[in-house]
Amino acid sequence: MKTAQKNIGLLKRSIIMFLFILILTAGDCSKPADDYTPWYSQDWEFTTIAHGSGFADFAIGTDNSLHFLYYFSGGNTEFDGSLYKRIKSSGEEKEWSLWSGALGPYASIILDSSNTPHIAACYNLVRLQYATISNDQLLVTTIASSAGGGNNDIAIDTNGVPYIVNEFSASLFSVVSNLVVISNNEYSFSKINISSNNIMHLINQTVMYKVISNGNFIYDSISGGSGEHNALVLDSSNSPHIIYLNNGIQYFHKSNASWIQETIPDTGNYAHKPDITVSSNGTVHIVYFSSDEGMAGLGVQELWHAWKTGGQWYKEKLCIEKLSFKSNLRIRIDPDGKLNIVFFLDYHKSISGPLLIRAVKK
C-alpha cells in the first residue's frame, strides 16, 4: 500500500512539474514562420491586382486607368518574366509580356497626355530597354546592351519626349528613337522629374541636379550625408520634394531657394522602400515598410502612411502582413484626389501565391 501511495505521489509531482514547464514555455517567442496575425485598416480598401513574384512601378491615367509593372521569378534566372498590366476605368483588363527575362524592381513607367505608357527597364539586369504601346501593340527598343543594370527612371517633357536615367549608363546625352538617355560619368542618376516649364530635376543618392532643356547641368547640393531608396516628386508649383533613407526617412523640400531637412518621426532604422507624393493642396504623403527585429524574424512587415499638413506630421498603419520589402512600394493620387498605394504581398494565410495589392483610401 505504501509503495502504491509513493508511486501516486511521484506521478502527481511529475504532472505538476510538466504543467509548470508547459506554462513557462507558453510565452516563448520562437514561433513558426507563419504564426502571426494579419491586420488590415478599415480606412482603406484593399484589392488584389494579380499573382506574381514582385512589383516594380505603377501609374494612374487622367482617365482613371491603372498601369502596373510586375514580374514572375523562377527557373534558372532571378526574374524570368516581366509584365505590363492595364486596367481601364470600365474594368477592362489587358496584359502584355514585356520580355521573358529580368525586370525585377529595376523598371519604371510614366504616362503621356494621351495616357500611353512609356516604360524603362533593365532586361536581365544588364540591357537597358524602352517599351511603349501603340494600337495595343507592344514596341520595344534596346537603348544599351550593357548598361550595367541598377535603378532607372523615366519622365516625359511637355513635347512628349521621354527621358530616361540609369544608374550605370555612361553616356551623357544619347538620343535613340526620339527618346533621351541622361547620365553622367561622375554621378549616377536614379530619379528624374520634369517640370511644366521643361526643367529636369534629377537626383542620385545624395545630390540633386537641375538640367535645363539645352543640356546644361546646374549643380545643387543637398546636405545630410549618404542615403538610399530615394524618391523625387514635384508639387503643383514645380518645387521639388525628396526623401531617402539615412537613420530614418529624411525629407527635403525648398523654401525661399533654401533646402529644408526634416526626419519623419519614429521611422528609425526599420523603414524600407519609402515613396512620396504631394496632393494639389500641398499635403505631403509618404509611405514605407517598417519592421522591428521580432517582426523581421517572422518575415512580417508593417505598411505605414505619413502625411504633413498644417506644419504637423501624422501617421497611420495600413496593415501588418508578410510584405515584400524586396519589391517596390508606390503611392499615387488619382484624378478624384484619392490616395492609391501599391505593394507586394509575399504570403497570405488564406490565399495561395504571392499577390500584387492596391490600397485606396476610403
**Number of structural domains, the chain?**
1
Lowest mean pLDDT among 177-186, 198-207, 246-255, 317-326: 177-186
* Alpha helices (H) along the chain: 2-25, 293-297
- Within a domain: 113: yes
d(CA 321, CA 166): 32
Percent of the chain exceeding pLDDT 90 equals 38
What's the CATH code of the domain at 42?
2.130.10.10
Domain that holds residue 126: 33-361
- Within a domain: 50: yes
d(CA 122, CA 166): 9
Which residue has cell 509513493?
6
Structure-block grid coordinates of residue 355 = 499577390
- Within a domain: 150: yes
Structure-block grid coordinates of residue 303 = 505598411
- Within a domain: 10: no
Q: Euclidean distance between the first and final Cα of the chain, in Å?
A: 75
Q: For the beta carbon of residue 112, count every other beta carbon within 10 angstroms.
A: 15
pTM, entire model: 0.84
- Within a domain: 24: no
Lowest mean pLDDT among 48-57, 127-136, 292-301: 292-301
Note the pLDDT tens digit of each residue in 32-91. 345 567 889 999 999 999 888 788 999 999 999 999 999 876 554 444 578 899 999 999
- Within a domain: 8: no
- What does the CA dihedral 45, 48, 54, 55 come to, rounded to 10 degrees? -50
- Within a domain: 45: yes
In this predicted structure, what is the pLDDT of residue 132? 95
